[in-house]
Structure 1
Amino acid sequence: MSSVATSVTRAEGFKPPSPGDFNLPPIGPDKTFEWLGETHYLGVTKPMIQLVLVAGIVFIFFWAASRKRAMVPSRLQYVGEQGYGFVRNSMGRDIIGSQDFLKYTPYLFALFFFILINNFLGSIPFFQFPTFSRSGLVYSLALMSWIIYNAVGIKKHGFGGYMKLMCVPSGVSPVMYPLLVPLEFMSNILVRPVTLALRLFANMFAGHMLLILFALGGQYLIFEMAGAYSVVGVVAWLLFILISFLELLIQFLQAYVFVLLNAMYIQGSLADEH
């Protein structure tokens, strides 16, 4: 067999990563069901455990940081205060406004660090799986956010007043209402939680998929294809390292954007005009 044919045969043995790689099996009894042509698992999975673990980490860390407050803060207290101040000022006060932001700061604060650490798990050895690369988990967060900012608006303006605020743009002729009101309703009431979730999910999913591709592809080229392909494999591994650092930035930015949009939606619900 020629060398070209041998290389083609070896290349056919490489199994590229797929969305199925994110459907992790449960820890414990293995129960499955078929849906949309794919096998899905029932039971406690790794992402579920990560959610509970991160919730515990966030609570314990900031409880420990605030337990012994002092005028001259310890390093732990300093880190906790800086983290709280970052969310309080840049996403609470500056977006929602100085009059109303304090009551929503605890939610924004907990949400930010919960998402951030779950995102970082995709880059931490042993875990190496971003929790929110599973869409169902992200939609749950988006649903909670949707309930909160709509409840805030209804509480302040009443149901009718809130729907008017969200669906009827000010300064527009009533002649345009039949066209604009359905669009505003779709955009502000129905589509917001979907786009909020998709932005976080898609970035975590795509970034992790890219890392898997470069890591496994480089390994296959070096150890299975050999020869000149090894050089390409080394390049793939170098790209894997560079993308890993870029992914850390993206993981932070996606947590920031998710919480920033939550603050903007709350501010819009509290505003007197749309």
Structure 2
Amino acid sequence: MQLVAPGLVRTDEGGFHGPTLDDFFPPAIFFEGTPFEMNRIMIIRMVMVALLLLMFWLGTRKMRVIPGRWQGVFEFALDFVRKNAIEDQLGVKDGRRFQPLLMTVFFLVFVFNITGIIPGMNIAVSSVVGFPIVMAVVAYVSFIYAGIKKHPGKFLKNSLFPAGVPWPMYLLVTPVEFLSTFVMRPITLALRLLMNMLVGHMILVLLWAATNFFILEAGGIFPALGAATFAGGFAFTLFELFVSGLQAYVFTLLTSLYIQLALADEH
């Protein structure tokens, strides 16, 4: 058995083995059998959180009126998220209230997504279900908190019993509103992030493992196929970089939208 890289598939005795879900459940490295058990994915998460904190510290410790190169890049990223994913939905006033939360959501999802294309990590640590669920719960609590704080005593009632609907229709409308607002929103948020990153990892692993097999293991004309899978792997790596940012943006945008709907005057 030959290990291509952590998270990549292996070839064994001249055969080719495609990617499996085992990559998402690596063995424990530290504290096995305890509540603090840590595997490779958990270690990568901790490393990325530390790098994210370091990045924010370096980007804000010496702010200047005329930004330097690093500060300019940092401000561009912050302004893009603030204007497009936050203030376009919530406006300036409410956007500032929820900006710390939503900025944290965006950058945390992004750095957890981007690990799928970082050599040595080779897996998006957001592609294991626990993290998408936690982020969906954060979004869920946020929009319910926003709605109850803005419309105490009315948010839940108006969400489940929209005004202007004939009373007999509530037998149909209320269950639909409950499912769409309080059940499907967090579920779809979690599944969208999970499945995009999981499928991306599987395709990326398949392409690079096929490249390894065709060039190093197979003979005959197969190395020519390895060149094709190498090109495909390189192109899909760039695509995964785009998807990592896109999914972080979409998650933040939808969270902002749900908060905006909870703050709307009709509640």
Normalising by structure 1, we get a TM-score of: 0.86
Rounded Cα–Cα distance in structure 1 between residues aligned with 2:201 and 2:86: 30
2:8 is equivalent to residue 14 of structure 1: no
Q: Deviations over 1:206-265 (max 9, x none)?
A: 001001111112322333331133322322222111111111111110010001011001
SS at match of 1:133: coil
Rounded Cα–Cα distance in structure 2 between residues aligned with 1:187 and 1:53: 36
Rounded Cα–Cα distance in structure 1 between residues aligned with 2:31 and 2:103: 36
| 1:182 CA displacement | 0.3
Rounded Cα–Cα distance in structure 1 between residues aligned with 2:190 and 2:169: 31
Structure 2 match to 1:221: 214
Rounded Cα–Cα distance in structure 2 between residues aligned with 1:225 and 1:67: 53
Aligned match for 2:200, one of 199, 207, 211: 207
Q: How many residues align?
A: 256
Percent identity (aligned): 35
Q: Which is further off, 61-70 or 180-189?
A: 61-70
Alignment of 1:1-274 (within 5 A): 13-31=15-33, 43-158=37-152, 160-273=153-266
Rounded Cα–Cα distance in structure 2 between residues aligned with 1:68 and 1:229: 54
Higher relative contact order (CA 8 A, sep 6+): 2
Letter of the 1:74 counterpart: G
SS at match of 1:70: coil
Distance 1:141 1:219, change over 3 A: same
Q: Deviations over 1:57-114 (max 9, x none)?
A: 2222222222222222222222222222112211221111223111101111121111
Q: CA RMSD in A?
A: 2.2
Rounded Cα–Cα distance in structure 2 between residues aligned with 1:262 and 1:132: 17
Distance 1:204 1:76, change over 3 A: same
| 1:168 CA displacement | 2.7
| 1:173 CA displacement | 3.2
* Contact 1:121 1:130 (8 Å CA) reproduced: yes
5+ residue gaps, structure 2, are 1-11
Rounded Cα–Cα distance in structure 1 between residues aligned with 2:29 and 2:136: 26
5+ residue gaps, structure 1, are 1-9, 33-40
